[in-house]
A and B are shown apart, each in its own frame.
Chain A
Amino acid sequence: MSTHPALPKRPFPWMSVVGTAITAVILIWSVQGTKFNLWVLADGLPNVLRFFKGMLPPWPMDFVTGQLIPPMVETIRIALAASMLGAALALPVAFMASSTVAPNKWVYQITRNLLNLVRTIPDLVLAALLASAFGIGAFPGFLALLVFSFGVVAKLLADTVETIDRGPMDAIATTGATRILQARHGVFPQIAPEFIAYTLYAFEINVRAATVLGLVGAGGVGVLLKTQIAFLNYTNVGIITAVTFAVVMLIDTLSSTIRRRLV
């Protein structure tokens, strides 16, 4: 019907060419840093296969019940205690870190910044640090995850408190109740389901983290994993991985089902 107007001349795509070149250089440089080597990969393959075979039943049940279950249970207990106590500590701090409830701008700013700081500490580094300070075992792992859970729940909850309906708080303020009571009776009932959901969320992450924490000496199933790797016992490593995977999956599914019903 109509003739299209001519396209203007395409400019040379400098940006894409230069970008691709830079990406290629970075990729080669970084892969060299990993000492990537096909022969090493091939050499290790039988071990990997044995590892996967170990994941398949039948399992040596005396290993599972005698050596695997106790640290697995310990891992779950560490994760549970850390998330529940961390969340309990997070509750009042979350109130202080939200402009709706904080008594003044200073409290608000200081707690906000503190929370951001807490959340930048990697939990593995913290666990390693605590393990060297308090000795190897479940306790430093628990402490590390406590700090982590506190940070996560406090931040999420503070953001939730920002979005609540201020009305009930104001109404309770006019009855002559203190600000703490306004938060307790006017705000907390509004955020209670979210509070439980965030605690469960921290628990899910904690279970996964707690399995790894043992590697830096902080208790739980990771300790067993570390020794089995050290003894090159790939069958047992496979079993540990499979059981851990199953437990984490189960807890994730359960917990996220509950969370979805809550909020």
Chain B
Amino acid sequence: MSDVSTGVAAKAATLVSFKNTSVTYPNGFTALTDVNLEFHEGEFIVVVGLSGAGKSTLIRTINRLVPPTGGDVNVLGTPIRNISDANLRKTRRRIGMIFQNYNLVRRSSVLANVLTGRLGDLPTWRALLGLYTKSDTDLAIKCLTRVGILDKAYNRADQLSGGQQQRVAIARALAQQPRILLADEPVASLDPPTAHQVMRDLKALSREEGLLTIVNLHFVDMAMEYADRVIGLHAGTVVYDGPGADMTEADFERIYQRKIRPDDMRGAAEH
């Protein structure tokens, strides 16, 4: 890999900025309070916090799966709080998303799943009929090659192992040619070696494509191992923002409201 240092990435273009952002769900529960953050091109960011801290809400606000109810979020140059449906779709095309449970169409082939990443950029009639162009297929093949499962292209998605399915999901996101990659607990359903493999893949992609990558993780040691920058959330507010290596025990206790415990660790990578 290249010798690009993380410091360079921090000076790169701002792709996402939270400005006094708050999220109150329709039931009245406030999940994010007055968040101010800036994320840049090429950054690999890991968000940590207790279950219920607001990690998913933070990530889902970026592609407006959850709309902000206070302040605003500027994503790829567009404020999204009052964005039109058409502009939202346009913005979402450049934001890939990876889920804990992969969210693949289980009965469809791996290739068909990856190709759905191209739908947003196709003319409607082509997209409806599933008439992908040659360049779409070429791109899908490139993405499958990139995550190392091209040989599974014609397998049904549900014939693959968990780690392979998550790689298909990554390939689907890559097929969007995104500038931002969001991953909500992407390794929570995987065994430790597979989890580390997927994290290494995500990290390498972020480096090579200059992708802003934002990953939610439950385990602190994994966050420290992979993140350029760790965001610590507690009860909907940002309580830590800095390199993982700089995190002190006090920072940790602010995030988790207690001393560090062995079960906060997933265990080091078996590289």
Q: Determine the residue in chain B with the shortest Cβ distance to A182.
A: B119
With known contacts A185-B116, A185-B130, A170–B103 Cβ distance under 8 A: yes
Complex partner residue of B119 from A168, A181, A189, A192, CB under 8 angstroms: A181
Q: Which of B101, B106, B124 contacts A178 (CB 8 A)?
A: B124
Q: Which residues of B contact A184 (CB under 8 A)?
A: 127-128, 130
Contact A192 B92 (CB under 8 A): no
Are A176 and B92 closer than 8 Å at their CB atoms? yes
CA distance A76 to B268 in the complex (A): 67
Q: Which residue of B lies closest to A174 (CB)?
A: B97
Given A176-B90, A176-B92; A168-B104 close (CB under 8 Å): yes
With most chain B CB atoms within 10 A of its CB, the pick from A174, A178, A184 is A174
Q: B55 on the interface (CB 8 Å rule)?
A: no
Q: How far is the CA of A178 from the CA of B126 in the complex (A)?
A: 13
Do B119 and A175 have beta carbons less than 8 Å apart? yes
Which residues of chain B in 168-201 are interfacial with respect to chain A, using CB atoms and an 8 Å cutoff? 169, 172, 176
**Is there an interface contact between A165 and B95, defined as CB atoms closer than 8 Å?**
no
Contact, CB under 8 Å: B127 / A181: yes
Known: A180-B128, A181-B127, A184-B128. A175 touches B104 (CB 8 A): no
Is the CB–CB distance between B116 and A167 below 8 Å?
A: no
Q: What secondary structure prevails in chain A residues at the interface with B?
A: helix
A171 x B130 contact (CB < 8 A):
no
Q: Are A177 and B106 also in contact (CB < 8 A) when A167-B101, A171-B99, A185-B130 are?
A: no
How many residues belonging to A are interface residues under a CB distance threshold of 8 Å?
A: 21
**Contact partners of A89 in chain B: CB under 8 A:** none
A111–B92 Cα gap in the complex (Å)?
30
With A172-B116, A175-B116, A177-B127 already in contact, the answer to whether A189 and B107 are too (CB < 8 A) is yes
Q: A171-B99, A180-B128 are in contact. Are A186 and B92 (CB under 8 A)?
A: no
Whole-angstrom CA separation of A147 from B89 in the bound complex? 37
